[in-house]
Amino acid sequence: MSAKPKNAFRVLIVDDQSSDIMNPYLLTSQLGFETTLAFDGEQALTESARTPFDLIILDWNMPRVPGWAFLRRLEMRPVPAGRKEIKNQNIVLYSGDDLSDLIFDDLLNLRVLDVWQKPLEPSDMLKRIKRIKAFVGG
Amino acid sequence: MQRKILNPEFLENWREVDPLRWRLIVAELLETFFRTIDESYRQMVIAREEGDWETIRTLAHSMKSSFGVIGAEEAHRLLQTIEILAAAKRYRRANVFMARFDLIFVETRALAIEFQRANAQAA
């Protein structure tokens, strides 16, 4: 699902729980972002192959292809001509688990801009999204 | 830390985000909540009777999100604990928390209905 304003900031939200997708979806849509939803890592891989996203909001704990597996497969995938390298992909990790012990160097050399602990208050999430948008530009 | 059964400030926080439409957003969030939790809870009761801890763990994981998103702090925390204990196969401890969750589920649901009514009247 996505709206398609031209030159909009493109966001992919990946979460297997529709109740967790609602808040980031409502907020990014309200900001006029072009928001795409994926309900598992597999679907996220398909969407990210199709569209160069400015930001991926990624749930960590999903069945089938969890967040870390999605990132690994993203890293291993060849980069199409004209697209940015995977290491420049902007990521926000979103989880009900405490991710503070996660050592990102062990995973991948990706731009993890923020880690959100569920549940996040809507106004806090909105501030974080705006901050990321300002940082990333686009 | 004292957790609230239903923290109204969590949903009312939407007023800061969208002062004009926040009640509609809250109505939609509560509608989604009620649409999912009764069936999930019913499945959890059956899974408990059958000793199906993998299903309990999966349901706790998904229900935790549903409760968290409306500010039901106590239920969210209990389900998080049940999920962890079920995954660790600590079933006797998990049962203790599930008994508490039975009570909290009923209280949370009742408070959410009250909130939904008040929100609809104010809209």
Least CB–CB distance from B14: residue in A18, A119, A122: A122
**Interface membership of A20 toward B (CB under 8 Å):** yes
pLDDT at B90: 93
From CA B96, how far away is CA B3, in angstroms rounded? 18
- pTM of the entire structure? 0.84
Q: Which pLDDT band holds residue A1 (cuts at 50, 70, 90)?
A: very low
- Shortest distance, CA A76 to any CA of chain B (angstroms): 29
Query: Which residues lie below 8 Å from residue A11, measured CB to CB, with a gap of 6+?
Result: A28, A33, A34, A35, A36, A53, A54, A55, A56, A57
**Interface membership of A19 toward B (CB under 8 Å):** yes
Category of B70 on φ-ψ map: left (φ > 0), alpha (ψ -120 to 50) or beta: alpha
Q: What tokens appear for A41 in the block?
A: 């890592």
Which one is predicted more confidently, A107 or B87?
A: B87
pLDDT at A59: 94
What percent of chain A has a predicted confidence (pLDDT) above 70? 81
Positive or negative torsion for Cα A37, A74, A88, A98:
positive
